[in-house]
Amino acid sequence: MNFIEVDARGLSCPQPAMMAREAIQAGQFPIEVVVDTVTSRENVRRIARMAGCSVEVEPAGDGFKLTIRK
Structurally, the chain folds into a number of domains equal to 1
Can you give the residue range of the structural domain that contains 31?
Answer: 4-69
Under the banding of pLDDT at 50, 70 and 90, the label for residue 3 is: confident
For residue 2, give the 3-state DSSP assignment: coil
| Per-residue pLDDT at 1 | 60
Is the Cβ–Cβ distance between 16 and 33 less than 8 Å? yes
Q: What is the pTM assigned to this prediction?
A: 0.94
User: Which residues are CB-contacts of 12 (< 8 A; sequence separation ≥ 6)?
Assistant: none
Segment 46-57 shows an average pLDDT of: 98
Mean pLDDT of all residues belonging to the chain = 95
Segment 36-43 shows an average pLDDT of: 96
CATH number for 55: 3.30.110.40
